[in-house]
Structure 1
């Protein structure tokens, strides 16, 4: 944002702008949304809009950061009580299912997520968010596997979280039946990585895939 609101009236104006932008995005997507339309729907002049948001990307960035903050809070809460690998599997499964369901139900979030892929600055936000979420996952892994090296866990966690973003995009581009199958396959692959992190063989991987040998 170009101007950070400090007074109540300014904060309310920003909220109204973001609500108007979300409505326009939900109706026909961010690609065709114009700043003049956001200003008109918000009941303000285009000059007033530019005082807060210099361009459309700034609006999308702000909305994305808000959705990311909510998502991060949900992940933190969902992983907070993990103590074992089995706890982690169950918590992770619930979080991924909720994540997918939210994207299915919220066209605005889906659109913003897609729009972020076309802008380098917005892609950097996504990577930063993956890193933040990976820190949460690595902390949960460390509680479940206290003897493991934390740096190694962080690398594994970043791969799991960032790959999860890619899987969600793929799942949302298909029909729901295939999408849910892809999400389930991703969860099984994630479970495999949780077990492999400990350097021990297991039987929870995808059918037909060899078990990785211990390090």
Structure 2
């Protein structure tokens, strides 16, 4: 779990193999239920029944529904952070930054479209303080990766400015994805494309090839 997330109702971290396997089964069942009926309709009793465990056992690992949702959110964030780091690690010049960032936005949007559980969780981010904290921590981590890539392209750039603007770029990217999946597909794709062009214009302005 992200170190920035000291959340009320924290779950027990399993150490034994059997316990870890049980946690994975619980999360898989929760994901299936969210995909079927949304997170609002997911009940702890349904998760326990599908996972083949007692409700008491479920509460030993996840004290409430929110702790399950936050764990799933953090896992999606971990996957997203790995994807961003991998795509930006070789950026060394303007063209590399342009291509890598553009491709990254397309990959991220495709991930949102392909993962109904991810869409459901993040559509409720603004209504959940804990999820907002997770979202902000994720944007800071990804912003630092983007800032490092931009610094390799422009070593003379002010690091504080790069860090601040990159954090904003990543946070706006998350907001764009949430907006894009809440409207018709064609409009969503247009919004993502506009965000991509807007950000690339901002990042590349003034840089010499």
TM-score class, shorter-chain normalisation, is over 0.9
What is the alpha-carbon distance in structure 2 between the residues aligned to residue 181 and residue 143 of structure 1?
30
* Other-structure match for 1:86: 95
Cα drift, residue 201 of structure 1 = 8.5
TM-score by length of 1: 0.90
What is the alpha-carbon distance in structure 1 between the residues aligned to residue 185 and residue 36 of structure 2?
21
Query: Which 4+ stretches in 1 moved above 2 angstroms?
Result: none
2:57 to 38, 48, 53: 48
* Other-structure match for 2:27: 18
What is the alpha-carbon distance in structure 1 between the residues aligned to residue 140 and residue 100 of structure 2?
19
Cα drift, residue 174 of structure 1 = 1.2
1:158 to 149, 154, 167: 167
* Other-structure match for 2:3: none
Q: Pick closer, same or farther for the CA change 1:201–1:138 going to 2, 3 Å.
A: closer
* Other-structure match for 1:209: none
CA RMSD across the alignment: 1.3
What is the alpha-carbon distance in structure 1 between the residues aligned to residue 162 and residue 95 of structure 2?
16
Higher relative contact order (CA 8 A, sep 6+): 2
* Other-structure match for 2:200: 191
Cα drift, residue 51 of structure 1 = 0.2
* Other-structure match for 1:182: 191
Cα drift, residue 127 of structure 1 = 0.4
Contact in 2 for aligned 1:35/1:55 (Cα 8 Å): yes
* Other-structure match for 2:77: 68
Contact in 1 for aligned 2:94/2:207 (Cα 8 Å): no
- How far does the alpha carbon of each residue in 1:46-97 deviate from its partner, in whole angstroms, 9 at most, with x for none? 1000000011110011001111001000000000000112211110111110
TM-score by length of 2: 0.92
Q: Would you say 1:143 and 2:169 are equivalent positions?
A: no
Structure 2 gap segments, 5+ residues each: 1-9
How many positions carry a matched residue from both structures?
199
2:11 to 2, 8, 22: 2
Contact in 1 for aligned 2:88/2:100 (Cα 8 Å): yes
What is the alpha-carbon distance in structure 2 between the residues aligned to residue 158 and residue 98 of structure 1?
19
